[in-house]
Structure 1
């Protein structure tokens, strides 16, 4: 990185294909994300939750107590926003979340969740899974990537 009068010069912009690969790496390797929902009255909730990327279904799987605002806000299904990565390598995901009872999540996903995160919500009676289907995915590092930040629209990858 070189220095300019206003600070470090950003790295060259990544191609859409590179950014998609980087997003998929985040989804596979990251453990935690910021999750935003809103109540029917419009009261926002922002919480950190651990997640699993279920590649077979193309969904994120999270877990929380059924009575927590995040679960209440998306019951039975509703909009949700998820953010991964630091501010200089951000991934924004907007989608639809649905509640899945602990015993109703297919075993491959539930087992993978438990293995990755080293705890199993299926043994906790008041806990549910959230299955999040992405509709929009955006990713960028610096201003030079803002123009092509859309990587998924209406549930379809652009690259």
Structure 2
């Protein structure tokens, strides 16, 4: 897409973002340790009842960083079609995960972590969602603020 192409309206941006959340399988996840050391990793996810459900080994920095900060930043897409999500992160043990969430994760991604004690699920509840392609979409890129869709 070039800058000369017409910018998407807010409804289309929201729908495109929701389509990515539903269809994409991987997301970049950024966290930071309590002393500010950043960590950026790709993780598989499922869009589950308005949240992103991911999984990682409980000893990985991403899981360890969730506890002290409770915050994460995630991105879908590439640099010319970005969905940027900021959210509250929490660890969910497999035994505490609803059957519906566990089934959705296993069905979409083809692997089931339930019963594997070395892994944890991470649930990210978005409070900010932004989406843009080119500079002509920077204005109005906010789709969600304070956990509420604006459109």
TM above 0.5, yes or no, is: yes
Matched, 1:66 2:43: no
What corresponds to 2:22 in structure 1?
Answer: 28
Q: 1:144/1:9 Cα in 2 relative to 1: closer, same or farther (>3 Å)?
A: closer
1:123 Cα offset (Å):
3.0
Matched, 1:140 2:136: no
Matched, 1:41 2:35: yes
- The alignment partner of 1:20 has SS state of helix
Q: Deviations over 1:83-104 (max 9, x none)?
A: 0011111000001000000121
**Counterpart-to-counterpart distance in 2, 1:83 and 1:74:** 17
Unaligned segments of structure 1, at least 5 residues: 2-7
- The alignment partner of 1:130 has SS state of strand
Number of residue equivalences? 151
**Counterpart-to-counterpart distance in 1, 2:105 and 2:67:** 21
Of 95, 114, 120, 1:128 maps to: 120
- The alignment partner of 2:101 has SS state of helix
CA contact 1:10–1:142 (8 Å) conserved in 2: no
Unaligned segments of structure 2, at least 5 residues: none
TM-score by length of 1: 0.91
Q: 1:101/1:16 Cα in 2 relative to 1: closer, same or farther (>3 Å)?
A: same
What corresponds to 2:105 in structure 1?
Answer: 113
Matched, 1:18 2:12: yes
1:77 Cα offset (Å):
6.3
Computing the radius of gyration from Cα coordinates, the structure with the larger value is: 1
Matched, 1:98 2:90: yes
Aligned-residue CA RMSD (Å)? 1.3
Matched, 1:75 2:57: no
Q: Deviations over 1:15-74 (max 9, x none)?
A: 1110000000000000001000000010000000000001x3x10000001111000001
- Tell me which of the two structures has the higher relative contact order, counting C-alpha pairs closer than 8 angstroms and 6 or more residues apart: 2
